[in-house]
Each structure stands twice: as structure tokens, then as C-alpha cells.
Amino acid sequence: MSIDQEIDPIESEDDLFEHFNFVVDKGQQLLRIDKYLLLKIANSSRSKIQTGIEAGAVKVNDQQVKSNYKVKPFDEISVSFSTPPRDNEVIAENIPINIVYEDSDLMIINKEPGMVVHPAHGNWTGTLVNGLLYYCQNLPGNTNIRPGLVHRIDKDTSGLLVIAKSEFAMTYLAKQFFDHSIERTYYAIIWGVPKVAKGTLRGNITRHPKDRKIMYMLPEESEEGKLAITHYEVIESFGFCSFVKFNLETGRTHQIRAHAQSMGHPLVSDSSYGGDKIRFMSTRTNFKQFVDNMFKVCPRQALHAYSLGFEHPTTHEWMQFESQFPEDFDNLLNKLRKFTND
């Protein structure tokens, strides 16, 4: 299979991890868990398994264990590792990267809108990963297309990303994303004003049957898709648009964009989900001209990954980061305020 066929342009964030669940056979003799997993997980290594155990990514009966734990019949084992490397060369490129924090374990990047996070079909150069490999040659998994990545944001979404600098940090952070213990706050500008100013959106998210490049929402009881949970709060209303805060409980592909569309309030300028045309009217004079100018000021989906919080892999301190709105988002917000207040 060629790499172009293998890479899915809208992979889920979950695809950055690999998950395993085992129930130990009733005839299993006592055996160290690292040796047991080495036998059960294909193409793994003892060092990777031990790193995962140290990072708390291996649980037996829902409890973290040490490498010398001996599995017993009927033990229930769950494993969450970072995705194994793929044999693809990524070229290091001298691309400017906005690093807002760095230590020996991780980096926090403030990604500009328009930058693709990692190479894939149609974007093999000029990505954040190309720039990361130039800046830091020893990222974990530096032989594959996603070195150091434990999550991602869309090309035209701006804001914060955490990058792991060691295999241990990568596994430790991946576990937090998998457990949904990471704090992620986004701000967006949507069309219209939701009837309920603060609430939670739940449903199963899957590919659109007619357009495989976008996602759509199904009822939570559906057998298709994966559960997506988004908390939202309207911060400011402009009548035909709203400034909204979103908090992710899960991290599915296009989650906020698909959820916003599902409640009839797509993100402004989001062409994939119907936000690039007037969705709510205003009686104000020159409204259509103002909207045309809105699209010019912020020609991409009005979505910004504002804050990121997590437990540090080695110090175990809670780390919290925030990023200012980029110029296009800030200008759009200010124009909306001025237009409605004049």
C-alpha cells in the first residue's frame, strides 16, 4: 500500500494512540506483565512496554502496576501506547515555529492558522512537523510522520499544541488525552445565538456519507461513530453572531465544527460546514457588505485553541497555558463589537 493511500486526511486524534485490552486466560501461569505484553502485542519492544508501564499507560483491573507485577488468570489488562512508527521519511525544514514554553520533556507551540500539523497526502512539506524536526532532531518517533505528536488541531485552526520530547513524555501525555483529563478551551465565533446560552453537546461523530472529508453528528445511541462531548458557553451575543467558549471532553476530528453545525450555528467562515455564507440576517444597514468584509478579515474558520492544561510527565505539576487571539480572529471580534454598538 502506498503512503498516499495509507494516510487518512481526517484521522481521529485517537489514531495517535494504540489501545489494547486483554483478559488473561484461565490457564495462564504467573508471568511478569512486561513479558506477558511482549508476547501479546505484535511489533512491540520490551523498552516500549516498560516505558508505558512507568508512565501509567498499563493498568490491571483498573489499577496501575509495576513491571514486576505477575499476571494471574482473569486479570483485565488495558494498554494505551503512542502509535508505532511508520517507515516514511520526513524532511527537516527551517520553518519559523512559535514556541511559548520548552523544557527537557515537552514543548508548547502556538500554531499559526494555515499551517498543517503533520505531513499527509498533498502536504509533505511546510508542516509543523517538518519545522519541529529541524529544531529538535531527537523527538520520539523521529523516523515517522508524526514525531512528538500526542494531539493535533486543524490546518486553519490557530492555537496551542503540546509536543513530547521523549518516549516517556509522549506515552504519559498520550494517556492523559486518552483518559480525557487534559483541559482544552477553544474560542469561536459562530452564526446566530444558541437558544440555550450554556450547555453540553453529546452525540456520535462519524464521516459524512456523501463527503468523506467532513464529519457529521448522529444520536448518541447510534451504532455508528464515536462519542463526542463538547461543553459550550455563549460569552457575547451580536444578534446574528455569537462569541462562544468551547471545552472539549473528547477529542474527535472536527468535533467543535461538526457540533456547531449540528445545532444550526456553524463557525463563521467555515466553508466545509456551511459557515462561509450568511446564516442569520440583521436589519442593520449595509449588513451584506459588512459580512463580506467579515469573510475577508477572517477567511478561515473562526476557531482558536486558547488554553491547554495537563499534568507534567516528570514533575507531576499541573501546567496551564493560554494564548492570545491571532490578529484575524481579534480583528473580526472587534469589528463585530463595533458594528453592533454603533
Residues annotated as catalytic are: 154
Q: How many other CB atoms sit within 10 Å of the CB of residue 168?
A: 19
Type and span of the H or E element at 59: strand 58-60
- Dihedral sign computed on CA atoms, order 181, 17, 152, 243: negative
Cβ contact 193:281 at 8 Å:
no
Q: Which residues contact 339 (CB under 8 A, 6 or more apart)?
A: 238, 284, 290
CA distance 52 to 293: 51
CA distance 332 to 242: 12
- Pull the grid cell for residue 123: 502536504
DSSP state of 263: T
CA distance 99 to 32: 41
Nearest to 264, CA basis, from 297, 217, 222: 217
Query: In whole angstroms, how far apart are CA 205 and each of 47, 218, 272?
Result: 35, 6, 15
Q: What is the C-alpha R_g of the chain?
A: 22
Nearest to 98, CA basis, from 88, 85, 107, 89: 107
Nearest to 47, CA basis, from 58, 34, 60: 34
- Pull the grid cell for residue 289: 457588505
The cell 467562515 sits on which residue? 269
Pairing of strands 183-191, 99-102: unpaired
